[in-house]
Amino acid sequence: MDEFINAKISPDSLITLFSQAPVALSLLMGENFVIESANQHILQLWGKPSSVIGMPLIEGLPEIRDQEFLSILKEVYTTGVPFRGNKVLCYLERHSRMEACYFDFIYSPVYDDKGKVNGVSVVATEVTSQVLSEMKLAESELRFKELLLNADFSTAIYRGEDLVIELANDRMIETWGKDKSVIGMPLEKALPELEGQPFIQLLQNVYKDGKTYAATEDRVDLVVDGKLQTFYYNFTYKPIRNLSGEIYAILNMAVDVTDMVESKERMRKNAEELSLSEAKYKNLSEAMPQIVWTASPEGEFTYFNERMEEYLGLNQHELQPRDVSSFIHSDDLPKILSVWRKASQHKTDFEVEHRAFDKKTGDYFWLLSRGVPDLGLNGEILQWVGSSTDINEFKILQKQKDTFLAIASHELKTPLTSMKIYAQVLEKALKKSGDEKNAAFARKMDEQIVKLTALIGDLLDVTKINSGKLGLNLSHFDFKNLVDEIVEEQQLSSRHKILNYSKPVGTVFADRSRIGQVITNLIGNAIKYSPEADEIIIETEICDNDIQFSVKDFGIGMPSDKADKVFEQYYRVSGDEQHTFPGLGLGLYIASQIVERSSGKIWVNSVLGKGSTFCFSLPKSDA
C-alpha cells in the first residue's frame, strides 16, 4: 500500500487533499515546527492569513509563546506519543484583538520513511461557544442554588424518583426539625413521620406527570424538638427539567402559615362573640361626647354616631358618598388629605386639627380628628376607626393666650430697655466711684435683663409664628462668614472652647439675621446642656448641594424617642435634670420654624449621657 501511494500519489496531491479536508488540519515539520501546510479551516481558527505557511509556528502565532502548546508539541515530537486535548484554553490574536478560545485537538507524530518522527499533525475543533455556554450554565446553577439557600422561605430540591434531598436551606432544615445530615438522604428516610401523609405520593405524581402542585394552608405533622407537632404551610412542588426537557428534580418552596391559620381559627371562634358585642359597642359610641366614625380604606364614611348630626347638622344620607369638602374649611382640606394619604401609605394612626362647618349656626369651629387603621391578617387596611373632638374653646383660649403674650411681651420690652440703660449707667457710676462690689451687682443685673429680653424675644417670635407673621428679609450672604462671626461672639462669654472646623461653603439665600439666631441658639444650647464638658465642635460642609451646619456637644444627651419632640413648642426633656437648665422650651421650636420657612431641614442625633449633634441644612445659592 505504501509503495502504491508513493508510486501513484504525489506529495503535492496529498497536501492538496489535506488542505481541502472539512476539518481544521495543519502539518508542523521539524524541531521548529514549521507550518508545512494549513488548510483554510485552521487558518480561520488561528485568525491568520495563508502567508504563515512556511513559517515556524512561533513566528506565525507569536501569542502562543508563553502558552503550553509548544511544550506539548515537543513532547509528542520527542516521544512519538499522540496527545489529545479537550476544551483547552488558548489565547489567540484574531481580528486585531486577543481572544480567549477553547479547542479540542489531537497532536499526532508524523514519521519519515525511516520511521523517525519528523513532524506533528494537528487536528483541531473550536468549542468556545460550547464551553462558554457550559460556564454560563454552571454560573447560573450556582446563582440559583445561592438564591435558594438564602431565600426567606423554606426551600429544598429533591432529585430523582427516590426524592433524594439534594439541597435544603436553613429554613427548610428548621421546618423539618432536623439537621444538615439529612441532605443526601431520600426524603422518606429523612422524615419517616411522613408515612401515612400524602406528600411523598404528591411528589411522585409531580415527578411523573410534570405538573406543578400548589397547596394553601395544608396540614403536615412533623417531629420537631422530639415530639410530633402539627403545622400549616403554603407550598409548591415544581418540576425541574434539564436541557432535553426531562424531569430530573423537584423544587419545594414552603411558607409557614401556622400562626395565621391558628389566628383565623381563633377569629372564627371569636366572630360570634364579637357580633354579639357589636350592639354593645355601638351603644357605647352613641354615649360618647365625641363624634365617633368609621370609614372605608378609601375614606368613605361607613358609620358615625349621633354626635355628627349634633355638631355638623349632617345626617347619614348627606355624608354618602364621601365629600368632606362640603363641611371642611377649604384652607384645611389640603392638610387633611395630605395627612390621611401619608397615614394610608404607612398604615399608621393620624391626628389633625381642622375647621368644620356647622349648618345649624353657619359658622366654622375647630375639631381634633384622630384615625386608627384596622388592619387585616395580610396587613391591608380594612377600615378606619376614628373620633373628632370639639376643641373650639381650646383654640379660642390659645388665640387669646397668643394675643396676651404678644401684647405683654411688646409692653415689657420698653421698660426692660430702660432698665438695661439704667443698669449700665449705674455700673459705670459705681466703677467711677470705686465701688467695685456694687458695680458687679449692677453688671449681674444687666446680664439678667439681657436674658429676660431674650426670653421675651422668644415669646414674640412664637406669637408671630403662630399668627403667620414671622417675616424673613431674604438676601444672599456667605454662610461661613456668618458662622465665624457668631462663634467669635459666643467664645467671648463662654468658658467652653468652641472648636470651629467650618469650611468655605459658599452663599445661601435666606434671612441673615434669623439664620444667625438659629446658629446662636444651637451653640447656646450645646454649651448649656454640657456643663461637665470643656468643648463643643462646630462644622460646616456641602452635602448634596445643600450647606449643612452642625454643632456637637458632649453633654447630657437625650433618649432616641425624645429626639423628634425637642423641636415642638414649649417642649423640654423631662427628667431629674430639667430643673437645672432654665428656659421656656421655645428656642428649638423657633429655630425649626425659621429653617423650615427658609426651605431647609433641621434634625438632631443624640445618645443619652454622651451628647447631641444638632444640624440644619439650607439650599446652596448659585449667587
Are 156 and 99 within one domain?
no
Write out the residue range of the structural domain in which residue 326 sits: 279-389
Q: What is the mean pLDDT of residues 560-570?
A: 73
pLDDT in tens, 214-257: 999 999 999 998 899 999 999 999 998 887 788 989 999 899 89
Are 502 and 617 within one domain?
yes
Q: What pLDDT does residue 9 have?
A: 40
Q: What does the block give as the cell for 499?
A: 472648636
| pTM, full prediction | 0.39
Q: How confident is the model at residue 547 (pLDDT cuts 50, 70, 90)?
A: very high
Are 481 and 421 within one domain?
no
Return the closest-CA partner of residue 220 out of 245, 244, 254. 254
Place of cell 439664620: 515
Return the closest-CA partner of residue 545 out of 482, 501, 600. 600
Are 323 and 252 within one domain?
no
Task: Examine the pLDDT at 212 and tell me if it is beyond 50.
Answer: yes
pLDDT in tens, 61-91: 999 999 999 999 999 999 999 999 999 999 9
Structural domain total, the chain = 5
Are 402 and 422 within one domain?
yes
Answer with the residue of higher pLDDT: 413 or 291: 291
Task: Examine the pLDDT at 7 and tell me if it is beyond 70.
Answer: no
pLDDT in tens, 369-400: 888 988 888 888 888 888 888 887 777 766 66
Q: Please give the Cα distance from 39 to 58 (Å, whole number).
A: 18
Q: What pLDDT does residue 17 have?
A: 53
| Helix 436-466 / helix 587-597 crossing angle, nearest 10 deg | 50
Q: Is residue 360 part of a domain?
A: yes
Q: Which residues contact 127 (CB under 8 A, 6 or more apart)?
A: 87, 102, 103, 104
Q: What pLDDT does residue 300 have?
A: 80
Task: Examine the pLDDT at 367 and tell me if it is beyond 80.
Answer: yes
pLDDT in tens, 433-486: 888 877 777 777 766 766 666 666 666 666 666 666 667 788 999 999 999 999
Question: 90: exposed, middle or buried (C-beta count within 10 Å: 0-12, 13-18, 19+)?
Answer: buried
Q: How confident is the model at residue 6 (pLDDT cuts 50, 70, 90)?
A: very low
Q: What does the block give as the cell for 391?
A: 376643641
Q: Is residue 43 part of a domain?
A: yes
Q: What pLDDT does residue 371 have?
A: 87
Answer with the residue of higher pLDDT: 301 or 193: 193
Are 324 and 340 within one domain?
yes
Q: Is residue 45 part of a domain?
A: yes
Q: How confident is the model at residue 3 (pLDDT cuts 50, 70, 90)?
A: very low
Tell which of 453, 482, 498 closes a domain: 453
Are 438 and 518 within one domain?
no
Q: Please give the Cα distance from 318 to 362 (Å, whole number).
A: 17
Cα–Cα distance list, 404 to 411, 414, 451, 551 (Å) = 10, 16, 21, 35
Q: Please give the Cα distance from 289 to 275 (Å, whole number).
A: 24
Q: Please give the Cα distance from 140 to 92 (Å, whole number).
A: 27
Q: Quick one: what percent of the chain has pLDDT higher than 90?
A: 34
Chain centroid to Cα 550, Å, comes to: 25
Q: Please give the Cα distance from 32 to 107 (Å, whole number).
A: 15
> Which residues does residue 477 pair with via DSSP β-bridges, in sequence order?
508
Q: What does the block give as the cell for 360?
A: 345649624
Are 610 and 501 within one domain?
yes
Q: What does the block give as the cell for 511?
A: 434671612
Tell which of 106, 126, 146 closes a domain: 126
| Measured distance between the N- and C-terminal CA atoms of the chain, rounded to whole angstroms | 98
Are 33 and 114 within one domain?
yes
Answer with the residue of higher pLDDT: 111 or 395: 111
Q: Is residue 463 part of a domain?
A: no
Are 485 and 596 within one domain?
yes
Tell which of 229, 261, 293 closes a domain: 261
Q: What is the mean pLDDT of residues 513-536?
A: 89
> Which residues does residue 109 pair with via DSSP β-bridges, in sequence order?
120
DSSP string covering 243-291, please? TTS-EEEEEEEEEE-HHHHHHHHHHHHHHHHHHHHHHHHHHHHHHSSSE
Helix, strand, coil distribution of the chain in percent, nearest 5: 45, 30, 25
Q: Is 530 in contact with 553 (CB distance < 8 Å)?
A: yes
